[in-house]
Amino acid sequence: MKDKLLRFLSYVVVAMLATAITLQMTVKTGAGKLDRLENLIQERFIGDADGEAMEDAAAAAMVKATGDRWSYYIPASQYEAHKEQSENAYVGIGITIQQSEDASGFLVVTVDPQGPAQEAGIAVNDLLIAVENQDVRDMTVSQVRELIRGEAGTKVSLTVMRQGEHQTLSVERRRIESPVATGEMLEGGIGLVKICNFDERCASESIAAIQKLQQEGAKKIIFDVRNNPGGYAEELVKLLDYLLPEGDLFRSVSYDGTEKVDTSDASYLDMPMAVLINGSSYSAAEFFAAALQEYQAATIVGEPTVGKGVYQTTISLGDGSAVALSTGKYFTPKGNSLTDVGVTPDVRVD
């Protein structure tokens, strides 16, 4: 446990001191206390202690003790899933499942039309009852998903019930990209662009959705960033650059005082716009709405947002785990902070 905690501290220090500033840290006292506690548990504790679980708990507690609600520790067991989420991609077979009402199996709810499950013959409403010949009917959805997951290029065998007959199908696991932005034509020449997050491919997919809607006759665009958790500042800036005229778009200030201002060129989207927000629109989603509001380029509709005005840097700790640490602040084009303030909609709709 001592080694992991010391690694944790050292990696954080290295990340925070990229400019070679020397920081005096009182590590010795803390490390000594942790050493003593570890020794006491090893020597006197009457139960069986899980060393890895204690290390994870100690690291998580250390981050939590900073008092920052946005920083968090990522155990090694969750790090790959964390990276996949930010890439808007995962290794799988392209289906979603839910437990059937009578608990007789797991119903296939959707099948990706370009995914490997579709190619293998899996269909909507198939009842999944076994994975790799292991009965899954008494498992949870999470447990079944874990059985299905694996390395890209490997195969997994699924047994499904269809029209009263059992079928066992072999499906190749592949890297599957989840859609980030989708477009839909509404009545009255209104195009709706739903943006799920601001992670990888957000800008390119959002712009493609806008252009497709324009080709279909859209005269107005509504962006839906409700329940959007945010994402990468780079994706936010690329999308704002497409939408807004020349000027400042976004500001960031890192832990060492370095300030960056992203700007837009003169080209912009010349059409009426609106943005839908709610209390679960965070970070980049908030700054997206705020920028359009400050430029008076869009009407903001919905509920006030929470105000996540800081950004995190994900730092590997060398053993498969990582920490997402708040290392800087974001500001709107006019230099306003949204921290604990959020975005106030022009039109309040609960």
Kindly report, residue by residue over 47-92, the tens digit of the pLDDT.
988 888 888 999 999 999 999 999 999 999 888 888 888 888 888 9
Report the distance separating Cα 62 and Cα 342, nearest Å: 28
Residue 49: per-residue pLDDT: 86
Residue 15: per-residue pLDDT: 43
Candidates 146, 220, 150, 231; CA nearest to 189 is: 220
Angle, CA of 169, 173 and 174, to the nearest 5°: 135
From residue 271, give the alpha-carbon distance in Å to each of 210, 214, 268. Answer: 11, 10, 9
Residue 3: per-residue pLDDT: 54
Strand pairing report for 190-195 and 220-224: parallel
**pLDDT of 166-206, one tens digit each?**
999 999 999 988 889 999 999 999 999 999 999 999 999 99
**pLDDT of 294-333, one tens digit each?**
999 999 999 999 999 999 999 999 999 999 999 999 999 9
Residue 251: per-residue pLDDT: 97
**pLDDT of 230-274, one tens digit each?**
999 999 999 999 999 999 999 999 999 999 999 999 999 999 999
CATH of domain 89-176: 2.30.42.10
> Cβ distance 293 to 346 under 8 Å?
yes
Alpha helices in 106-182 (DSSP H): 116-120, 141-148
Beta strand residue intervals within the chain, DSSP E: 72-74, 89-92, 95-99, 106-111, 127-131, 134-135, 155-162, 165-172, 174-177, 181-186, 190-195, 220-224, 247-254, 259-264, 273-277, 298-302, 310-316, 322-331, 347-348
Report the distance separating Cα 163 and Cα 127, nearest Å: 9
> Cβ distance 40 to 54 under 8 Å?
no
Instruction: Give me the architecture of the 181-348 domain, per CATH.
Output: Alpha-Beta Complex (3.90)
The size of the chain, in residues, is 350
From residue 348, give the alpha-carbon distance in Å to each of 54, 287, 290. Answer: 47, 18, 15
Spans of all domains in the chain: 2-65, 89-176, 181-348
Residue 142: per-residue pLDDT: 81
Of the pLDDT bands very low, low, confident and very high (cuts 50, 70, 90), residue 7 is: low
90: phi > 0 → left, psi -120 to 50 → alpha, else beta; which?
A: beta
**pLDDT of 134-169, one tens digit each?**
999 999 888 998 899 899 999 999 999 999 899 999
- Mean confidence (pLDDT) of the chain: 90
**pLDDT of 109-123, one tens digit each?**
888 888 999 999 999
Residue 280: per-residue pLDDT: 94
Residue 30: per-residue pLDDT: 55
